[in-house]
Amino acid sequence: MNRLDGLEIPWWRRGVVYQVYLRSFADSNGDGTGDVNGLRSRLPYLADLGVTALWITPWYRSPMADGGYDVADYRDIEPCFGTLADAEQLISDAHDQGIRIIADLVPNHTSTEHDWFKQARTAPIGDPSRDRYHIRDGKGADGAEPPTDWTSVFGGSAWTRLPDGQWYLHLFAREQPDLNWGNAEVRAEFESIFRFWLDRGVDGFRIDVAHGLVKDPTFPDVGAAPEILVSANVPDHPFWDRDGIHEIVPSWRAIVEAYDGYRILVAEAWVRPERLPLYLRPDEYHQSFNFDLLKAPWDAARLRAVIDDGVKAAAAVGSTSTWVLSNHDVMREATRYGLPADVNWRTWPVTGPAELLDEAAGIRRARAAALLMLALPGSAYIYQGEELGLPEVCDLPTDVLDDPVWERSNHTQRGRDGSRVPLPWDRSKPAAGFGSAPAWLPQPEGWGELSVAAQREDPDSTLQLYRAALALRRRHGVDDETLDWLDTDPGTVAFRRGSGLRCVANLGPEPIELPEHAEVLLTSSGLTPSGRLGTDDAAWLL
Ligand code: GLC
Ligand code: CA
């Protein structure tokens, strides 16, 4: 029997999705960059880990100005990642192992090397090919000032001037011109791209920058101080979270629904919590990442509030919550949770001081957070290396930094490369088993100690914790979508699932007694000699 079929509950409502940052996962041909065949060779590892699906970051043809989020051709694979045939083989191999594939689609912008932009750049002013992007006159007597004060998410102006004097909009790097979603050709093209990949068997799409597609057609100034890598959370913002977005998504949903077998749309929407359910309405996205868990500090009251809001908001629109502790855009949680709650982890790698970091607390909390997240109703996303407890690499030499944020922020932020260092598979092999050549970002000393092979031997490793948690999650009560809070100490986060599974996390300063239970199923770091749950530890009970 096909293991993908016969589920009564659509897989995505409770699935565990593993995020593959392709160029840092596994390198099959020794060029230092991870690729599709490297991922194919590691499918047995992912099947053994017990994940439901993979989300693969963009693999399309790209000059890689933003790690592939600058797409030159949406219907072909970037040669450094492999070929279209490799991708088709991957989809088929994954399906054979019971793993689904979510592609990462980037509709907000293309690459400047996309045919459309090459055409628009050289076309005469007013040519229809220019209307696929946001290309406008500047301000000031000779149009020498940008059309608005909008700033790029990566820092600096969001406008770049063309040789003919007009300006084009790019909410990200200058190599990523924003598409005009008011243009009918843009809409039709993406409908065709969806079908292209659905026909090749993908089970869903993660939609990049889902909250940025629509711009205020009057192009007003924002008038606020810019922030790097933060989406403003104000009502009626000229380019974030505009209502017009919801006129676009239903046509995508209809396309996806027309295919068999529970194909899905997942939104990357950094919006205010009360706006998130709008993206989850029955004719829009199936899932939208709940970034509030990721953003919350290690604080019991804050975590309880975020979880409670997330569960209720998703239920109100018939969806389930989509939990995330980390991804390729944020500091890895084993480091994030080691910093004091009031420290800005985006700037800390530049500003320090280094002494603020408590590495031991960070990894301990990350392990407890994993048990917390994996016990919640809904689905959960795991970012590659999270299951190994990898830390952020905060001291990459600045000359290897690849993320445009480092330059565009005028070196006030190192950017996101520290979470993208290629995975360690085996300490006895070159590049810690990532591939036969040095990896595209240098792996730090001792990286191999954190490798899959090393952690497989160690029953107390983070990898074994994740494996056990995923196996138990399948066995104990993820069929229901309810959560009841347990009446415990304010320093704890403790709840019960409909199946009887209980999760208790202790964020307080002292060890606590476990609530009455028949069995301790799993703990993040063991119990104290007197059987209590220590600070920064979590347990699953029956
Ligand atoms: C999303 C991606 C990020 C990328 C940006 C621009 O936020 O997750 O990595 O830089 O979109 O495409
Ligand atoms: Ca390679």
**What structural domains does the chain harbor?**
3-107+181-213+248-462 (3.20.20.80), 115-169 (3.90.400.10), 479-541 (2.60.40.1180)
pLDDT of residue 479: 66
The three-state secondary structure class of 100 is strand
User: How many CA atoms lie less than 13 Å away from 394 in the CB half-sphere?
Assistant: 21
Answer for the pair 462, 470: CB distance below 8 angstroms, yes or no: no
Q: What are 247's two structure tokens?
A: 């006129």
Annotated catalytic residues are 208, 268
Q: Which amino acid is at 242?
A: R
pTM attached to this predicted model:
0.97
Ligand nearest 229 Cα, by number? 1
Ligand 1 site-directed mutation target among 71, 208, 409, most atoms within 8 Å of CB: 208
For the chain, give the number of residues.
Answer: 542
Ligand nearest 36 Cα, by number? 2
Cα(179)–Cα(188) distance, integer angstroms: 13
Could you tell me if the CB of 69 is within 6 A of ligand 1?
yes
Cα(379)–Cα(375) distance, integer angstroms: 10
Answer for the pair 421, 59: CB distance below 8 angstroms, yes or no: no
User: How far does residue 443's CA lie from ligand 1's centre (Å)?
Assistant: 23
Q: Helix, strand, coil % (nearest 5) of the chain? A: 30, 15, 55
Q: Is beta strand 537-541 parallel, antiparallel or unpaired with respect to 520-523?
A: antiparallel
User: How many CA atoms lie less than 13 Å away from 485 in the CB half-sphere?
Assistant: 15
The three-state secondary structure class of 186 is helix
Could you tell me if the CB of 329 is within 6 A of ligand 1?
yes
Could you tell me if the CB of 208 is within 6 A of ligand 1?
yes
Q: What are 78's two structure tokens?
A: 């970037």
User: How far does residue 40's CA lie from ligand 2's centre (Å)?
Assistant: 12
Could you tell me if the CB of 270 is within 6 A of ligand 1?
no
Cα(104)–Cα(283) distance, integer angstroms: 20
Could you tell me if the CB of 70 is within 6 A of ligand 1?
no
Could you tell me if the CB of 386 is within 6 A of ligand 1?
no
Ligand 1 site-directed mutation target among 19, 57, 69, most atoms within 8 Å of CB: 69
Mean pLDDT, the chain, rounded, equals 95
User: How far does residue 371's CA lie from ligand 1's centre (Å)?
Assistant: 27
User: How far does residue 539's CA lie from ligand 2's centre (Å)?
Assistant: 40
Could you tell me if the CB of 106 is within 6 A of ligand 1?
yes
What is the mean pLDDT of each successive set of 10 residues along the chain, which is 542 residues long?
52 96 98 98 98 98 98 98 98 98 98 98 96 97 96 95 97 98 98 98 98 97 82 86 97 97 96 92 95 96 97 90 97 98 96 97 98 96 98 97 96 97 98 98 97 97 98 80 92 94 97 96 97 98 96
CA-closest residue to ligand 1 atom 3: 329
Ligand nearest 178 Cα, by number? 1
pLDDT of residue 477: 61
Ligand 1 site-directed mutation target among 209, 289, 291, most atoms within 8 Å of CB: 209
